[in-house]
Structure 1
Amino acid sequence: MTEVIRLSVARTLDRCTVLGPGTRAVLWVQGCPLRCRGCVAAETLPFEGGTDRTVPELADWLCGLPDVEGVTLSGGEPFSQAAGLAALLDAVRARRPDFSAMAYSGLRYEALRRGGADRRALLRRLDLLVDGPYVAALHGSLRWRGSSNQRLVALTDRYPDLRSEPDTGAGIEVSVEPGGALSWAGVPPTPGFRAGLEAHLAERGFVLHTQARRDT
């Protein structure tokens, strides 16, 4: 009997245009061994609290999204669940061979290459990687990155024009959900953005999600 591979998921988003090229789905995993000061997704840091999702379930979700060219893996730390995410990408590409993949990691590319077999397997399945920890003192409005020490590493030739495009922030996307709850995705343009936004919205009766949840 084949074991069903599971992932601990903090959140999913069907469509996003500010966390990678084109229109993408986003999957935030739950759990990160790093504790970058100023992390904008602090609710995803504990390894407890995520939603248990199977690889086939997540593959069905991704393959069922129309007009989405790929997925961005964030968190949390995707490489803490590297084996499951590699299996997920294989399952999706068995049905959608051109599906692209991008991931964020608080670890450097060189460290990931020297890591275990699972981490190297996930690297081999990625088109793009944003690497390195977020450093608040180096915050910048950069394309898909929060601080200037982070790099956008092309791992395939899928996106050859990236080097010639302006390295400017893509902004954030905000959505209001049923019941009036508000959530957002993207890389904040300024340090301290989340705390300021939460305070501003709280004054007007809106509350940002601060717990792991499930969108699909």
Structure 2
Amino acid sequence: MTSIGISRLHFPVTTLGPGRRIGIWFQGCSIRCKGCISLDTWASGRKMTTLRSVTGLLERWLPETDGFTISGGEPFDQPFALAALLREIRSKSDADVLVYSGHSFEALTSHLAEMDRLIDALITDPFEIDDDRDVALRGSGNQRLHCLTPLGVERFAQFERTVASDDKAFDLMMDDSGTIWLAGIPGRNDFKRLREFLESQHHTIVTTEDRLSETR
């Protein structure tokens, strides 16, 4: 039985690719880019589950989804689990698959050969906190979009452009503990402005970054 570390699943995600998408965040990241907004997904060995459990949860959303976005964490830190998940997705859905990785495309060639036609579009390279943030679907301008299949070209070639006003949005998620998650590509200082606004309204905000710094 395939084990897989998953931080969270969510549907619909509308800010990380076209249409209403199933978002899958892997748990565990060896790259750990400075300024990452998902520090809670860095630790490996946590939130382990089985591929069967994950695919069982996804099935309820399959009739309504336009695509899948897989991020993290770092999906390619679990290459065998990632490949198994992608095969399951392909067997159950014709929707497109977008994967984010902090590795370079060149470093992933052997893995991609084993996942041939399982990924339609791939965004690669580490997040650079000081780089421009004006390219669609990417956190920093150094990151590259690779359309790997005809479906990937059809669905994602449109995102080889600068950020538009419609791109500046977040999906809001809440888990059973009441923790709120934001999915999307933040602009520079977006979270700082959000914190300042909430505090001006007499709300207290504690981020996953705050919690991690308390335990270091």
Q: Which category describes the TM-score, using the shorter chain as reference length?
A: 0.7 to 0.9
Find the counterpart in structure 2 of residue 120 from structure 1: 113
Tell me which of 114, 129, 150 is aligned to 2:143. Answer: 150
Are the counterparts in 1 of residues 17 and 69 from structure 2 also a CA contact under 8 Å?
A: yes
Are the counterparts in 2 of residues 175 and 183 from structure 1 also a CA contact under 8 Å?
A: yes
Instruction: Please give the residue correspondences for 1:73-152 in structure 2 after superposition, counting only pairs within 5 Å.
Output: 73-96=70-93, 98-113=94-109, 115=110, 118=111, 120-122=113-115, 124-152=117-145
Find the counterpart in structure 2 of residue 34 from structure 1: 31
Cα gap change, 1:95 to 1:163, in 2 (>3 Å): closer
Which one-letter code corresponds to 1:27 in the other structure?
A: I
Instruction: Write the distance in 1 (CA, Å) between the matches of 2:197 and 2:3.
Output: 37
Which one-letter code corresponds to 1:163 in the other structure?
A: A
Instruction: Using structure 1 for the length normalisation, give the TM-score.
Output: 0.82
Does residue 173 in structure 1 map to residue 168 in structure 2? no
Structure 1 residue 167, shift from structure 2 partner: 3.1
Cα gap change, 1:206 to 1:175, in 2 (>3 Å): farther
Find the counterpart in structure 2 of residue 214 from structure 1: none
Are the counterparts in 2 of residues 82 and 119 from structure 1 also a CA contact under 8 Å?
A: no
Cα gap change, 1:38 to 1:21, in 2 (>3 Å): same
The size of the alignment, in residue pairs, is 203
Q: Which stretch of the first structure deviates more once superposed, 144-153 or 118-127?
A: 118-127
Tell me which of 157, 163, 168 is aligned to 1:163. Answer: 157
Are the counterparts in 1 of residues 18 and 155 from structure 2 also a CA contact under 8 Å?
A: no
Structure 1 residue 123, shift from structure 2 partner: 5.6
Aligned residues: CA RMSD: 2.6
Structure 2, unpaired ranges of 5+? 212-216
Instruction: Write the distance in 2 (CA, Å) between the matches of 1:80 and 1:62.
Output: 21
Instruction: Write the distance in 2 (CA, Å) between the matches of 1:62 and 1:204.
Output: 34
Are the counterparts in 2 of residues 62 and 92 from structure 1 also a CA contact under 8 Å?
A: no
- Structure with more of its chain in strand, by fraction: 1
Cα gap change, 1:199 to 1:143, in 2 (>3 Å): same
Which one-letter code corresponds to 1:70 in the other structure?
A: G
Find the counterpart in structure 1 of residue 183 from structure 2: 185
Q: Greater relative contact order (Cα 8 A, min sep 6): structure 1 or 2?
A: 1
Instruction: Please give the residue correspondences for 1:1-20 in structure 2 after superposition, counting only pairs within 5 Å.
Output: 4-20=1-17
Cα gap change, 1:21 to 1:123, in 2 (>3 Å): farther
Structure 1 residue 89, shift from structure 2 partner: 1.9
Structure 1 residue 83, shift from structure 2 partner: 1.1
